[in-house]
Amino acid sequence: MKIVLSTLNSRYTHTSLALRYLYANMQELQANTTIMEFSINDAMQSVAEKILDQDVDILGLGVYIWNASQIQELIHIVKRVSPKTKIVLGGPEVSYEPFRVDFSDADYIIKGEGDVAFYELCKNLVDNQPQERISPLSAPKLKEIELPYQYYSDEDIQNRYIYVEISRGCPFECEFCLSSMDEKVRAFDLEKVLEEFEKLWQRGARNFKFVDRTFNLNMKAANMVLDFFLEKEPPYFAHFEVIPDHFPSSLREKIKAFPHGALQLEIGIQTLNMEIANNISRQLKLDKIKENIAFLENETSAHIHLDLIVGLPGESLDSFGKNLDELMAMSSCEIQIGILKKLSGTYIDRHDQHFGMVYSDIPPYDILKNDQLSFKDLQIMKRFARFWDIFYNSGNFKNAVELLWKEESVFTNFYAYSLWIYTQTDATYKISLQRQGELLFKYLTEVKNISPERIANAMLSDIMKLKGRAVPSYLKAYSEGFNIDAKLGTSGFNKRQQ
């Protein structure tokens, strides 16, 4: 009996922690089980060919919001070519109904956490025992399952993200999030997990991305993990998702001790409007949030990533704009702007009628309109989010982009800029870095009426901060006298040129 575990990652640099959990818990069937990972950018017929070359009897596929449509195509091909192959689906996209992608060609579906359930299903098939097509939601005892970390290959460690976790679940009830469906937070045996992390470290792993939804909920566990890294010699990189209102002194001192580039903290803000937060059952302690962001911004070297969502029930464009302005006043860190999605099983659907919420039934199930935002508004905001990534979050134009708003509203000014860019490009992707710079320079001079010399000083400071970068053609006329003090890491025109 040949078993293949597979999924389509969103890109090559990602790895599937879930597949490795399944493999680790296959017991006597492990010898006949293989992990095969692909990307959503791969041709599905080529993926099917490689899988079927294994003469596979049971194919387990992990289904997520980013790969649901491609998985549907893959199932179609495999079943047409090899009807005897039993296809088992698992993952968030098949854990809660309704299934908005047609997975009727699949033979079996495992809801919830499949660490043990997948093995049990395969064992029943091997033993010719009856098996229900859809297994009930399962949540195994975490301290009893086998850990997966030894099954990261040397190639994974050298070239890809290493995903890890010390807990599962979330204590909060944010209605847009699947984690709100969990009854409680469950923890792994931390000593055993840290032993596995040490083995990964000894094998050369230096890039650890934690998938815990609330890393800083349990202070004892969080401090032990941070100590693990602080005892190591840099360089290394650790990414955590944290709640914004829980940074006691013990945690603060450890975060302050991390060197530059070693620590990234992702913080879900989503909204700063208390009324909107109440609509979606999200707890907001605004004073604590402001205090903690100020601490992270001013006293640590951590890279901070904040999240905001467009389209929440009852939130207008004006309210969202105020959220962005307020966050920008608090911090200069990365702000990820997302569009609300309606995931099956979440409680966000209770607002559909009252707020006129209309969503796409095609992945990623994003909102199309509501009583505050028209379809056109949301299309504009999707482009706003993309251009925000390109010009602000990328860091390529850190000094120059701030000239867009100066002391005024960030949202109002960037909104106008994003509308203008789209008239110039009719696109949001495949805009070269050279073209991005040209667009920004043109807008600042022709629309904002800022002097070319001032813009050039800011843009050259951005562009020339990286060694070896050539002065782009649109700035060459302004580059004479510009210098970079490599020793001090500063750049700008000589005083005689200012």
Max distance between CA atoms of the chain, in angstroms, equals 86
The per-residue pLDDT string of the chain (498 residues; one tens digit each, 9 = 90 and over) reads: 999 999 999 999 999 999 999 999 999 999 999 999 999 999 999 999 999 999 999 999 999 999 999 999 999 999 999 999 999 999 999 999 999 999 999 999 999 999 999 999 999 999 999 999 999 988 999 999 999 999 999 999 999 999 999 999 988 889 999 887 766 899 999 999 999 999 999 999 999 999 999 999 899 999 999 999 999 999 999 999 999 888 999 999 999 999 999 999 999 999 999 999 999 999 889 999 999 999 999 999 999 999 999 999 999 999 999 999 999 999 999 999 999 999 998 999 999 999 999 999 999 999 999 999 999 999 999 999 999 999 999 999 999 999 999 889 999 999 999 999 999 999 999 999 999 999 999 999 999 999 999 999 999 999 887 766 788 989 988 887 666 543 333 333 333 233
- Cβ-contact 320, 277 below 8 angstroms: no
CA torsion sign for 91, 115, 150, 28 is: negative
**What distance in Å separates the CA atoms of residue 306 and residue 267, rounded to the nearest whole number?**
5
Establish whether domains 3-142 and 152-358 are of one fold: no
**What distance in Å separates the CA atoms of residue 225 and residue 163, rounded to the nearest whole number?**
14
Alpha-carbon torsion, ordered 105, 109, 115, 116, to 10 deg: -120
**What distance in Å separates the CA atoms of residue 37 and residue 9, rounded to the nearest whole number?**
7
- Cβ-contact 403, 458 below 8 angstroms: yes
**What distance in Å separates the CA atoms of residue 395 and residue 436, rounded to the nearest whole number?**
12
Category of 139 on φ-ψ map: left (φ > 0), alpha (ψ -120 to 50) or beta: beta
Residue ranges of domains in the chain: 3-142, 152-358, 374-498
* CB-CB neighbours of 226 under 10 Å: 22
| DSSP state for residue 171 in the 8-state scheme | S
- Cβ-contact 333, 305 below 8 angstroms: yes
**What distance in Å separates the CA atoms of residue 265 and residue 255, rounded to the nearest whole number?**
10
* CB-CB neighbours of 104 under 10 Å: 7
Provide DSSP, 285-337.
-HHHHHHHHHHHHHH---EEEEEEEES-TT--HHHHHHHHHHHHHH--SEEEE
Provide DSSP, 255-286.
HHHSPTTSEEEEEEEE---HHHHHHTT----H
**What distance in Å separates the CA atoms of residue 401 and residue 414, rounded to the nearest whole number?**
9
Tokens of 151: 């099954």
Bridge-based pairing state of the strands 358-359 and 367-369: antiparallel
Q: What is the pLDDT of residue 173?
A: 85
Instruction: Report pLDDT digits (tens) over 348-401.
Output: 999 999 999 999 999 999 999 999 999 999 999 999 999 999 999 999 999 999
Q: Mapping DSSP to helix (H, G, I), strand (E, B) and coil, where does residue 382 land?
A: helix
- Cβ-contact 383, 415 below 8 angstroms: no
Q: What is the pLDDT of residue 76?
A: 98
Q: Mapping DSSP to helix (H, G, I), strand (E, B) and coil, where does residue 340 land?
A: coil
CA torsion sign for 341, 266, 239, 401 is: positive
Q: What is the pLDDT of residue 489?
A: 39
| 3-state secondary structure labels for all residues of 129-153 | CCCCCEEEEECCCHHHCCCCHHHCC
**What distance in Å separates the CA atoms of residue 350 and residue 363, rounded to the nearest whole number?**
20
CATH 3.80.30.20 is held by the domain 152-358: yes
Q: What architecture (CATH level 2) is domain 3-142?
A: 3-Layer(aba) Sandwich (3.40)
Backbone angles phi, psi at 469, to 5 degrees: -75, 135
Instruction: Report pLDDT digits (tens) over 129-178.
Output: 999 999 998 899 999 999 999 999 999 999 999 999 999 998 888 999 98
Percent helix, strand and coil across the chain, each rounded to 5? Answer: 45, 20, 40
